Structure 1
């Protein structure tokens, strides 16, 4: 197991070093208004950056610029960030940390704001971990935060300061926009973005929408048949005669994987859930002088539904191929499974009901054309007799998993 973990860590380091890095055509504007065309590393930032990597020519030396020297940067047809000195309220929305103060607490900061909509009315976004703040400006006015804040209205109730609705009603009016539109606005990217598109269309302004870039499919459903190589070892702390080594056996299993890809960092991270049927059935016989007939037969019939839940990370090689690493926590639901000890004449000696513990799994795989995949996965040892004090067991599985994604 230690050798396997060492191999996996080495693989991660190697892939991190050599996997494809996406530099795309972009630009930046210095504080002295000099525009520099370049290739910017597209990080698909979840949190607003304070710096970015670029190269002046494709595949040339990589350099870094920061918010100190740059007033704007962007990747053509994908994203745009502008530097702004703004007042921002960083009050938390975490329930355990709310206060009775309804008013925002502003602090002046210099930040890169992500441009979502440009028109007569402009919309910007700032994200930092769990903090999300929208900002707006109209024509050449100063950039202003749209205020939304949770607070304690009483010891047991949470209030919401929805000042952003009134701000938009005061600043962005159009005859065809009903008052109910402002009232129904949610402080979410989709709701706020759609409103700014609606307003700019209402006043017949030209619109640049940076949220309409093409996104990869963020949900996949994959059929996952597999070849399993499994082994089982049983030890009894009282009687050596009940020990059993079933060694390895090749079998088959079948799973269906649901994958939710996180919409940031260029879709490199995903949550996976993979219900899987597996089984292990084997019989061994041995001479046993302390058993009538002189022979003991041990038969294991173990079948279960595994429920691995975990994280996947992709390393893109080309537009159509990628390598991935999985780390999963595996819950095991055994059903009608047992280990039977019998004499040579098939009379019963002992019967153990299998109830297994949970374990971990690690895998490395390759995916092609977003449809076909192949993975090698190893599971850590699982105790399938966890309810028995004097028995210890180790069930191990290494799998070769084939995948076909149809959704």
Structure 2
């Protein structure tokens, strides 16, 4: 039954997916014939530089595709800008196992859409592709050039080619910027943007910053009480008397969730950590002549502090509400948790401790105004008696939680 409910919920969420993620915003593109076309562009908040994009000429128009072979520039108004360029790029790996011993970059010429970070007399551009990050500079009258940074290995030592610092020192050639601003420079967007902006400000030059507000990891703290629907069945390979189906019962759980929204893809991805407390108690009676008193009492008393850590993805329905999916890795720490088998006089026939278990969990939920939320989560657990090689268990949990965000 639990699995059927879960499948049904997945079907419901998937029916929203196609519409919920399509967000078109005002933008433009420039064709090879230098024709500017104002349109609506699907804002994917790209992690990797795209080679194509989707657009509509009006809100009711069919979706069309512009690509790098027919478009020389495109952008979303007040948000982002990409320019096409034929340039040389070094794709040498930063991974230690893939590094070479060559200090100089290995260039290859490619046609790329580069993201404009800072635009002015000197422009700062960025290219990202599955972990590879390269920065470029461009003057109004020059071609695009890569800012050179390469890690390489010699005699099992990782060394850096920081030629980009010298490139920028020569490019700016300004006495108003201290030499240490270049020597301390890191090859990342934050440091490079800061240097370019400083150059424009100390020289009173105009420029456009396409990232005026630095994206940050948004954080939410949510109180999440709820109920759990638990079921447990255990079996023994050596003693049939221990085979017990504890059935299903309701329990209470209380959690506090910290959520960190990742600064890309329109804030659709987040990392969640949710310490929780939950319990499951049940008792079964079995008549048997194999124990004194003729009755075997089976008791489970499971109390645990859980630590789910996972990834969340949102599907926007409108500006106020959204659905989400979770995948969590859960580590539960048992608190004096046991499964006991007692004779009729309460003497112990057999006893097992439950210490810690780990499992995966999947959840579906809904949020309104980033304040109120509800989630259903299914958590099939592995053998909670794994420390006892002759015992197996089937422990499943279906959680229903409510959430109220204190910080949003």
Q: TM-score, normalised by structure 2?
A: 0.95
Match of 1:211 in 2: 211
How many angstroms does 1:67 deviate by?
Answer: 0.8
On the 8 A contact 2:278/2:305 being kept in 1, the answer is: yes
Match of 2:164 in 1: 164
Say whether residues 1:139 and 2:140 are aligned partners: yes
2:318 aligns to what SS in structure 1? Answer: coil
Post-superposition Cα deviations, 1:312-333, rounded to whole Å, max 9, x if no partner, equal 1110011121100111222222
Q: Which moved more, 1:70-79 or 1:389-398?
A: 389-398
Post-superposition Cα deviations, 1:284-340, rounded to whole Å, max 9, x if no partner, equal 223222221222212211111222222211100111211001112222221311112
How many angstroms does 1:4 deviate by?
Answer: 5.2
Match of 1:292 in 2: 292
How many angstroms does 1:162 deviate by?
Answer: 0.3
How many angstroms does 1:104 deviate by?
Answer: 0.7
Q: Which moved more, 1:26-35 or 1:328-337?
A: 328-337
Distance 1:181 1:342 in 2: 74
Distance 2:19 2:210 in 1: 30
On the 8 A contact 2:6/2:378 being kept in 1, the answer is: no
Match of 2:264 in 1: 264
Match of 1:202 in 2: 202
Match of 2:75 in 1: 74
Match of 1:111 in 2: 112
* Structure 1: gaps of 5 or more residues: none
Distance 1:18 1:141 in 2: 43
On the 8 A contact 2:217/2:260 being kept in 1, the answer is: no
How many angstroms does 1:370 deviate by?
Answer: 1.2
The 1:321–1:216 alpha-carbon spacing in structure 2 relative to 1, beyond 3 Å, is farther
On the 8 A contact 2:28/2:36 being kept in 1, the answer is: yes
1:335 aligns to what SS in structure 2? Answer: strand
Distance 2:390 2:60 in 1: 63
Match of 1:15 in 2: 16
Say whether residues 1:231 and 2:231 are aligned partners: yes
On the 8 A contact 2:372/2:404 being kept in 1, the answer is: yes
Number of residue equivalences: 406
On the 8 A contact 2:105/2:148 being kept in 1, the answer is: yes
The 1:28–1:261 alpha-carbon spacing in structure 2 relative to 1, beyond 3 Å, is same
How many angstroms does 1:29 deviate by?
Answer: 0.5
Distance 1:398 1:305 in 2: 17
Match of 1:344 in 2: 344
Match of 2:59 in 1: 58
Match of 1:98 in 2: 99
How many angstroms does 1:141 deviate by?
Answer: 2.1
Distance 2:88 2:340 in 1: 72
Say whether residues 1:302 and 2:302 are aligned partners: yes
On the 8 A contact 1:232/1:246 being kept in 2, the answer is: yes
2:173 aligns to what SS in structure 1? Answer: coil
On the 8 A contact 1:356/1:382 being kept in 2, the answer is: no
Match of 1:365 in 2: 365
Say whether residues 1:406 and 2:406 are aligned partners: yes
Match of 2:275 in 1: 275
How many angstroms does 1:19 deviate by?
Answer: 1.6
On the 8 A contact 2:358/2:381 being kept in 1, the answer is: no
Q: TM-score, normalised by structure 1?
A: 0.95
How many angstroms does 1:2 deviate by?
Answer: 5.4
On the 8 A contact 2:284/2:299 being kept in 1, the answer is: yes
Distance 1:137 1:337 in 2: 65
Q: Which moved more, 1:263-272 or 1:197-206?
A: 263-272
Q: Which moved more, 1:177-186 or 1:329-338?
A: 329-338
* Structure 2: gaps of 5 or more residues: none
Distance 1:181 1:216 in 2: 24
How many angstroms does 1:358 deviate by?
Answer: 2.1
How many angstroms does 1:8 deviate by?
Answer: 5.3
1:293 aligns to what SS in structure 2? Answer: coil
1:358 aligns to what SS in structure 2? Answer: strand
How many angstroms does 1:25 deviate by?
Answer: 0.5
On the 8 A contact 2:10/2:364 being kept in 1, the answer is: no
